[in-house]
């Protein structure tokens, strides 16, 4: 297979849907000979939560690389290229290794019933590649939830918990407490855990889980204030404090100078990314993330408002996203995301008008049309509502995320 054929097969497994559970991933890792605990296994830094997971993972990866550790990074989803999901020392998985890994997976799972899901296969692909490369530290982002997420087959050096909010309720449960129980599933017996402040319901679940498993749980109580940070927004300073606490718990915290170098070099596309001085990309796709985006916009630009190009998936809480973004929007250009789960431009406009009746909202038939319309207005342009839309924008401008290098 070439890379297109290999990825076509892998994407075809999405037809198997989402099946939460650890049976298949454990069977798959065993068949591939991948070690996920004990002698010979890397140190895993396992990150779960609703918002901020990717940013925290990017910080952990950057600091570990600055400290000289051979480091693997597994995140999802990707923005433009599938290869973004799997990196070693900041380098995207080479196409040859990607194809070889997928061919091995295809041969291994032929005839399996039940068949592994796309995310199970992708997780196994990443862990097998990391083992092949002999990495010492793996930064691992959960796909959804935690307890039954494929990444939970590992035994980590530390369990890292970012803020929990309502999202994926159809899979994780209707309440914050139910969702928290799934996220807390990454806490392991005797393994240290660190968490950012949570709502009362979520904190109660985390405390109970840690107590039952005799896992030391550290609550981060202040943002990181004294070191330079490449990512914008006050919430990122909380994320940085969480990353520092996690590294300390895992006994990976480097010298202050190395820590500062790693945090100053973090790159995480699609999170308040200034593509140009007047074009900002942020993939906030739930109300809590959109609130952070609005707060960061105000921190960076004061009372200035934006022309917002907005695309939102149908299974997200569209009303809450619109309400959060309304205070910073001069006008909205609504478009359908290039995804079968997308809301229509009309649905987005109707929802935004209900949230902010005095904010003009017009429909655009495509991203290029929306960008062209936005050029007629004097405000900065904010593209938001979905990471899929952010990825589409990066691809439109030919800006595929590349290998990361420390400054």
| Residue numbers of the domain that contains 306 | 273-396
Q: Does 364 share its domain with 251?
A: no
* 260 lies in the same domain as 277: no
Is the pLDDT reported for residue 152 higher than 90?
yes
Q: Does residue 402 sit within a domain?
A: no
The SS3 of residue 115 is coil
pLDDT value, residue 225: 93
> What domain count does the chain have?
2
Looking at residue 227, its pLDDT comes to: 92
Shared-domain flag, residues 64 and 162: yes
State the Rg of the chain over Cα: 21
Q: Is residue 404 part of a domain?
A: no
- Residue 407 placed within a domain: no
DSSP H/E element including 223: none
Residue finishing a domain among 264, 282, 297? 264
Q: How far apart are CA 77 and CA 361, in angstroms?
A: 29
- Say yes or no: 37 and 168 in one domain: yes
Per residue in 38-57, pLDDT tens?
Answer: 888 999 999 999 999 999 99
**Is residue 312 included in any domain, yes or no?**
yes
From 215, 246, 264, the end of a domain falls on 264
Show the tokens assigned to 214.
């005799």
146 and 215 belong to one structural domain: yes
Instruction: Examine residue 282 and state whether it is found in any structural domain, yes or no.
Output: yes
Together in a domain, 241 and 179: yes
Domain boundary among 212, 240, 264: 264
Residue 73 to residue 264: CA distance in whole angstroms: 18
**CA 62 – CA 404 distance, rounded (Å):** 9
Q: Given a cut of 50, is residue 403 above it in pLDDT?
A: no
Which CATH number goes with the domain that contains 127? Answer: 3.40.1190.10
CATH code where residue 307 lies: 3.90.190.20
Q: Within this chain, do residues 338 and 236 fall inside the same structural domain, yes or no?
A: no
Does 211 share its domain with 231?
yes
Residues whose CB falls within 8 Å of the CB of residue 250, separated by 6 or more in sequence, listed in order: 43, 45, 157, 158, 192
Question: Is 110 contained in some domain?
Answer: yes
Alpha-carbon distance of 222 to 288, in angstroms, equals 19
Please indicate, yes or no, whether residues 256 and 278 belong to a single structural domain of this protein. Answer: no
Pure H helices in 214-255: 234-249
104-136 pLDDT tens trace = 999 999 999 889 999 999 999 999 999 999 999
| 240 and 378 both lie in a single domain | no
Residue 289 belongs to a domain: yes
Q: What is the pLDDT of residue 388?
A: 93
Are 244 and 373 members of one domain? no
Q: What angle do CA 243, 246, 251 make, to 5 degrees?
A: 125
> Which whole number is the average pLDDT over 282-289?
92
Q: How far apart are CA 393 and CA 403, in angstroms?
A: 19
pTM (predicted TM-score): 0.93
232-285 confidence digits (pLDDT tens): 999 999 999 999 999 999 999 999 999 999 999 999 999 999 999 999 999 998
250 and 165, same structural domain? yes
């Amino acid at each position: 297979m070439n890379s297109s054929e290999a990825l076509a097969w892998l994407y075809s497994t999405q037809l198997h849907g989402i099946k939460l559970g650890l049976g298949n991933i454990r069977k798959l890792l065993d068949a591939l000979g991948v070690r996920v605990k004990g002698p010979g296994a890397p140190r895993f830094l396992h990150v779960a939560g609703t918002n901020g997971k990717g940013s925290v993972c990017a910080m952990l990866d950057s600091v570990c690389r600055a400290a000289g550790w051979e480091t693997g990074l597994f995140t999802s989803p990707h923005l433009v290229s599938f290869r973004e999901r799997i990196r070693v020392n900041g380098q995207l998985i080479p196409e040859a290794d990607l194809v070889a890994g997928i061919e091995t997976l295809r041969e291994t799972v032929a005839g399996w019933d039940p068949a592994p899901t796309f995310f199970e296969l992708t997780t196994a692909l990443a862990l097998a590649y990391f083992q092949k490369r002999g990495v010492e530290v793996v930064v691992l982002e959960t796909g959804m939830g935690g307890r039954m997420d494929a990444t939970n087959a590992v035994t980590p050096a530390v369990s890292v918990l970012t803020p929990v909010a309502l999202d994926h309720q159809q899979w994780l449960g209707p309440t914050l407490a139910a969702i928290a129980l799934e996220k807390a599933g990454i806490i392991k017996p005797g393994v240290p855990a660190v968490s950012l402040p949570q709502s009362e319901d979520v904190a109660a679940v985390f405390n109970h889980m840690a107590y039952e498993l005799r896992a030391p749980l550290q609550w981060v109580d202040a943002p990181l204030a004294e070191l330079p940070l490449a990512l914008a927004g006050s919430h990122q300073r909380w994320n940085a404090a969480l990353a520092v606490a996690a590294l300390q718990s895992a006994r990976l915290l480097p010298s202050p100078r190395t820590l500062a170098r790693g945090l100053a070099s973090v790159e995480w596309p699609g999170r308040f990314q200034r593509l140009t001085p007047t074009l900002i990309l942020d993939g906030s796709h739930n109300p809590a993330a959109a609130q952070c985006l609005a707060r960061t916009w105000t921190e960076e630009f004061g009372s200035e408002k934006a022309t917002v190009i907005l695309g939102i998936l149908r299974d997200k809480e569209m009303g809450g996203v619109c309400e959060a973004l309304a205070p910073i929007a001069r006008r909205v250009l609504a478009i359908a995301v290039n995804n079968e789960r997308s809301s229509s431009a009309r649905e987005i406009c109707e929802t935004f008008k209900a949230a902010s009746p005095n904010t003009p909202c017009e429909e655009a038939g495509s991203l290029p049309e929306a960008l062209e319309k936005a050029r007629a207005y004097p405000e900065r342009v904010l593209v938001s509502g979905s990471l899929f839309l952010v990825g589409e924008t990066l691809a439109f401008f030919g800006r595929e995320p590349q290998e990361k290098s420390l400054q």
